[in-house]
Structure 1
Amino acid sequence: MQYVNAFWVGGLICVAGQILIDKTKLTPARILTGFVVAGVILGAIGLYKPLVDFAGAGASVPISGFGFLMSEGVRKALAQDGALGILTGGLTSAAAGISAAIVFGIIAALCTKSGDK
């Protein structure tokens, strides 16, 4: 049942993004930024954690899960380090994902030939 919950919750998040692309004049970059901010806000007020507990990867893999991850990192670092945690918590919690994106980006750049389209 966990797979089914992950599938339909992740699917609904993607459907929301597709509706925003189709029905509004928002650019994809603004929609992605909105999803990250929504993940941060929902995580900060405690609404995203129950969704992650219910749907697992269906809620943590979409870009809104990245915002949630950052808000959780800030929350933990704030409790441990005080005000300094506000600045360091988000980057510390998301460091593995950011590092992986950089490494895989470099590998893709080395394996492909760039050019104008």
Structure 2
Amino acid sequence: MRQIADFEDAENQRRALSVIPLQVLIDRGQARGTEALSPRDELIYQLLNWFKNEFFHKETSAKGHTAPSAEERRFGAGIVELHQCGTCQEITRFPRYNHSGKLIETRRGRCGEWFVLLYFACFHH
């Protein structure tokens, strides 16, 4: 129920709509020219591809975990993974947020975060 309240938050919805390139996704679907999908299903297909390949950053690898800070807990992080950059080798914190607004801001995540935002986007379109 807490997740649904997060999805219905007007500010989170505004933030999501500000970063989802809706017209680009519609244009991509039209350019693909498939007749097998309805326009709505084609938009979902394009949204899935965009989330998977363009939205989230993918530059680090896991190196352990630690407890979240009070600020990280405020946005639903129950654990913070430690990740190392593949380029500079710097260790960074990766809070496992469960808050759509924060995920839109950070653009960092894996399957759980991806699911939260994908479900959020589909819930409102």
Please give the TM-score of this superposition, normalised by the length of structure 2: 0.31
- More strand by percentage: 2
Report which of the two has the higher share of helix.
1
